[in-house]
Structure 1
Amino acid sequence: MSPKNLSALNKTHKLLLNKLKDKRTRQIYNKFEKYLNINENFAVAVSGGPDSLALSFLAKIYSIKNLLNVKYFIIDHKLRNNSTLEAKNVQKQLKKFSINLNILKWNGIKPKKNIQSIARDKRYELLLNETKKFKIKNILLGHHLDDLFENFFIRILRGSGLNGLISLDKKTQNNNINIIRPLLNFEKKDLTYISKFIFGFFVEDPSNEDDKFKRVKIRSFLKKLETEGLDKKKFLLTINNLKFSNETIKFYTKKNLLENTYFSEKKKLIILKESFFHHSAEVIFRSFTDVIKIVGKKYYPVRGKKIDSIIQLINNKSYFKVTLGGCVIKKVNQTVIVSKE
């Protein structure tokens, strides 16, 4: 880097650090710094909305203070006519703050149904592929407290179990890459403040106002609950208590996977011992779900009803062969083999 460019970069860094003189911004950043607490290079997923722009600023400050390298990515879904222009505008605005945003494009035929779910899966696929190129093992997402509440009610409507209800965790893994949500304890109003104070703009996604989407309906429902006296702190306490119970089940699920499976990376299959199924129904269900995710290389698990059906087959049949979630599941006598389809 030339002395001139280095001088400009240092000037921008100083400008950004000076933003912490604002009391509210400093308080938000201090909370973020404590909550993130990593010492490895990472990537940031950006959408252009207030949540991800706030995350971009907070992550930039964190990287400056901790001398870490950060990659920023925005997905151009090409689902709206102006999506490419929108992504380029966000890229241009962030560049003013030495945040170099890379645009990843979703090319190909777009779905007519289940658009948000399929687009979400595509986002993860593009992000994971790109971070692997740079050998980055951490991706930061902008999910916040309001998303946590919305997710809870969406999962209730789907009939999800305990694991589904509190599925937005601070840290999860996908193909050995850490998916980190450092804003889960932050309210949207604080993130909107950061976005306006630092950048002076953010993108308004029209789908956020379209009540044909379930998430938008849930958001409206939660606003009504707040007017009726919903206490967010108590609601969060309930979710955290459920997470504590969930961690106990996760412990025994992990133990079952370690002790009662054999993984052949060369043959891309997992063999389940008979003792794999000598546990409580919930531990068996989760263990088997994880096996399907590992072999099938899926980020999101297969629907619970389908998993239940396979487990019933395992319990009642001495031999069968079926496909599910990108896997071939075969039982011979008391041995179950799950291989890549």
Structure 2
Amino acid sequence: MPVEPPLPDPADALAPLAAHETLLLAVSGGPDSIALMLLAASWPLAAQKRIEIATVDHGLRAEAAREAAQVGDWARARGFVHHILRWQGKKPTTRIQERAREARYRLLCACAREIGASAIVTAHHADDQAETVLFRLTRGSGTAGLAAMAAESRIEEQPLLRPLLRFSKAELENVCAVAGQDFVSDPSNENPAYARVRLRRLAATLAAEGLDSKALLRLSARAARAEEALAWSAERAALELPAERATKRFHVAAAALRALPRELLLRLLAAEIARIGGGEPRLERLERAGEGLAAALAAERRFKTTLGGAIVTLEGDAVAIAPEPPRRRAEIT
């Protein structure tokens, strides 16, 4: 007989939430988010906290409104206040999943602010993490991308907590089964039009070659460690760099940048471009600019490029970053 996966202990699983007094749980109605709600209902600290549930109705399926209402019934049966957040307006015809995700977090952040929640909680689990690593691997992501989802991050300055990343989907489904709790099945999770669904269907083939969920999670953990070290090194290098930093200007001797490892040069560029130009360039464009600047530094020749609303120039013995002129921005857009 197959062995049932162990049940997560609510006190252990939700320990990362203990520092927050008011929490907004994102519950779509799928087995993972319903399991999050069930764990919250059994959490020993639940009586000391204010926990509310939010379900986003994207309006992309006819059944979505009925399913959101059903989640509301389940939430209230467990003693929770429930909010239905509706994505209003005309829906996009391209990049639907990406834009639905953006809308979902925008609505959740607005609801969290409205109720005074100090954190949003999602039910992302280990299988989601492995899938994210694989998805980003196929896109050629760097260490930050391969580190995948952090247990705690921020969105619109709002803490975003993912306490279930240690648990598998099977474990969370078992939470629902043991509680006798129904859940919603979203047919889009089986739609091959979406890249993640296609990757999911390759799971058995990849696992046979050694790239199973455990291997992907190991890669994620190692990438996270490397990213932590690189971020620390980049911050330290930036602090030690003898540079002039004004509100809208960065100026440094070329020799100081010439000595930096290439990755730290890229990170310094990204940080200063975001600070001065207000944009966050895509990794590929940043790499091209960084390679061009590094080559110009080595050859001691002039260099100029625009990126993220800023102009990067190497002239003489100095590198400068300044805002891109408004007229030039208008021409580009």
Alignment TM class, shorter chain as reference? 0.7 to 0.9
Question: Is this contact kept in 2: 1:137–1:177, CA < 8 A?
Answer: yes
Question: Is this contact kept in 2: 1:93–1:199, CA < 8 A?
Answer: no
Distance (Å, rounded) in 1 between the aligned partners of 2:83 and 2:165: 25
How many Å apart are 1:132 and its aligned residue?
2.9
Question: Is this contact kept in 2: 1:272–1:337, CA < 8 A?
Answer: yes
Deviations 1:101-141 (A, max 9, x none): 21111112211111111111222222223323344332212
Query: Residue 287 of structure 2 corresponds to which residue in structure 1?
Result: 308
Distance (Å, rounded) in 1 between the aligned partners of 2:239 and 2:118: 23
How many Å apart are 1:335 and its aligned residue?
3.2
Deviations 1:268-314 (A, max 9, x none): x664453795633323334544566678889xx64311223444676
Distance (Å, rounded) in 2 between the aligned partners of 1:73 and 1:125: 12
Report whether the alignment pairs 1:274 with 2:252.
Answer: yes
Distance (Å, rounded) in 2 between the aligned partners of 1:88 and 1:259: 56
How many Å apart are 1:158 and its aligned residue?
0.6
Deviations 1:171-204 (A, max 9, x none): 2223432222111110000111112333621111
Query: Residue 19 of structure 2 corresponds to which residue in structure 1?
Result: 38
Report whether the alignment pairs 1:202 with 2:183.
Answer: yes
Q: Highest relative contact order (Cα 8 Å, sep 6+), 1 or 2?
A: 2
Q: SS state of the match for residue 88, structure 1?
A: helix
Alignment partner for residue 153 of structure 2, among 139, 160, 172? 172
CA radius of gyration, larger in = 2
Distance (Å, rounded) in 2 between the aligned partners of 1:184 and 1:98: 25
Please give the TM-score of this superposition, normalised by the length of structure 1: 0.75
Question: Is this contact kept in 1: 2:249–2:276, CA < 8 A?
Answer: no
> In angstroms, what is the RMSD of aligned CA positions?
3.5
Question: Is this contact kept in 2: 1:63–1:70, CA < 8 A?
Answer: no
Aligned residue runs from structure 1 range 140-289, under 5 A: 140-198=121-179, 200-226=181-207, 232-233=213-214, 235-256=216-237, 271-274=249-252, 279-289=260-270
- Say if 1:148 and 1:320 are closer, same or farther in 2 by CA, change over 3 A: closer
Distance (Å, rounded) in 2 between the aligned partners of 1:68 and 1:297: 38
Query: Residue 54 of structure 1 corresponds to which residue in structure 2?
Result: 35
Distance (Å, rounded) in 2 between the aligned partners of 1:128 and 1:262: 37
What one-letter code is carried by the residue in structure 1 that aligns with 2:83?
A: N
What one-letter code is carried by the residue in structure 2 that aligns with 1:188?
A: K
How many Å apart are 1:320 and its aligned residue?
5.9
Deviations 1:233-272 (A, max 9, x none): 45533432232222101212333566669999xxxx6644
Aligned residue runs from structure 1 range 93-104, under 5 A: 93-104=74-85
Question: Is this contact kept in 2: 1:51–1:143, CA < 8 A?
Answer: yes
User: Any unmatched runs of 5+ in structure 2?
Assistant: 297-301
Alignment partner for residue 107 of structure 1, among 88, 91, 107? 88
- Say if 1:64 and 1:295 are closer, same or farther in 2 by CA, change over 3 A: farther
What one-letter code is carried by the residue in structure 2 that aligns with 1:336?
A: I
How many Å apart are 1:88 and its aligned residue?
1.6
How many Å apart are 1:228 and its aligned residue?
6.6
Aligned residue runs from structure 1 range 106-125, under 5 A: 106-125=87-106
What one-letter code is carried by the residue in structure 1 that aligns with 2:67?
A: E
Query: Residue 9 of structure 1 corresponds to which residue in structure 2?
Result: none
- Say if 1:319 and 1:159 are closer, same or farther in 2 by CA, change over 3 A: closer
Distance (Å, rounded) in 2 between the aligned partners of 1:286 and 1:34: 34
Distance (Å, rounded) in 2 between the aligned partners of 1:310 and 1:147: 33
Distance (Å, rounded) in 2 between the aligned partners of 1:292 and 1:57: 45
Alignment partner for residue 117 of structure 2, among 109, 115, 136? 136
Distance (Å, rounded) in 2 between the aligned partners of 1:43 and 1:292: 34
The count of aligned residue pairs is: 308
User: Any unmatched runs of 5+ in structure 1?
Assistant: 1-22
What one-letter code is carried by the residue in structure 2 that aligns with 1:47?
A: S
Report whether the alignment pairs 1:335 with 2:320.
Answer: yes
Distance (Å, rounded) in 2 between the aligned partners of 1:194 and 1:155: 29
Q: SS state of the match for residue 160, structure 1?
A: coil
Distance (Å, rounded) in 2 between the aligned partners of 1:294 and 1:69: 37
Distance (Å, rounded) in 2 between the aligned partners of 1:297 and 1:198: 49
Distance (Å, rounded) in 2 between the aligned partners of 1:303 and 1:193: 40
How many Å apart are 1:216 and its aligned residue?
0.7
- Say if 1:284 and 1:71 are closer, same or farther in 2 by CA, change over 3 A: farther
Question: Is this contact kept in 2: 1:143–1:184, CA < 8 A?
Answer: yes
